[in-house]
């Protein structure tokens, strides 16, 4: 399956397995995605390979950033009516507390979309959505 075919399949069926399997980094960190109505919730499972500080133990900051950036990209691709691949222009991440060695979730919100640019806000949490471990803003260039 080519990338456009995988994207079309995912949009039509809501099955993210083929898309996530086709992205090497998503496969490496174990990224998962579930649709609840119109909402997408991204999940990073507890995984020893994702740890940066084994003493706390805490998830590596780069893994958290990569998880949030990929979540924003997938969210944006799924929210488009046309099949186009967004390109990241800017990504700004605020770490709010340690991401401990447990299941982590992310939720995205499209804050602005024009013809060429889209902005996405991302929030990551672990035990409680009201206590995020990180927030981020991503800006994408939309190409046909």
How many Cβ atoms from other residues are within 10 Å of residue 41's Cβ?
A: 15
pLDDT digit string (tens) for the chain, length 144 residues: 567 888 889 888 889 999 999 999 999 999 999 998 889 999 999 999 999 988 999 999 999 999 999 999 999 988 887 777 889 999 999 999 999 999 999 999 999 988 899 999 999 999 999 999 999 999 999 976
Q: Residues of 57-86 as b/e, b for ≥16 C-beta within 10 angstroms? A: ebbeeebbbbbbbbbbbbbbbbebeeeebb
How many Cβ atoms from other residues are within 10 Å of residue 20's Cβ?
A: 19
Distance CA 16, CA 33 (A): 6
Asked if 80 and 100 touch (Cβ cutoff 8 Å), the reply is: no
Domains of the chain from N-terminus onward: 3-141 (3.10.129.10)
pLDDT value of position 38: 81
pTM of structure: 0.93
Helix (H, G, I), strand (E, B) or coil at 72: helix
pLDDT value of position 42: 98
Helix (H, G, I), strand (E, B) or coil at 27: helix
pLDDT value of position 2: 61
């Amino acid at each position: 399956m080519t990338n456009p075919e995988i994207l079309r399949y995912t949009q039509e069926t809501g099955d993210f397995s083929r898309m996530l399997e086709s992205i090497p980094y998503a496969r490496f960190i174990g990224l998962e995605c579930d649709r609840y109505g119109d909402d997408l919730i991204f999940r990073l499972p507890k995984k020893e390979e994702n740890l940066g500080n084994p003493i706390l133990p805490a998830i590596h900051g780069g893994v958290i950033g990569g998880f949030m950036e990929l979540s924003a990209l997938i969210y944006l691709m799924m929210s488009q009516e046309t099949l186009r691949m967004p390109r990241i222009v800017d990504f700004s991440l605020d770490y709010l507390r340690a991401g401990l060695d447990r299941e982590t979730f992310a939720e995205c919100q499209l804050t602005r979309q024009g013809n060429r640019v889209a902005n996405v806000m991302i929030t990551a949490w672990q035990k409680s959505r009201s206590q995020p471990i990180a927030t981020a803003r991503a800006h994408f260039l939309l190409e046909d």
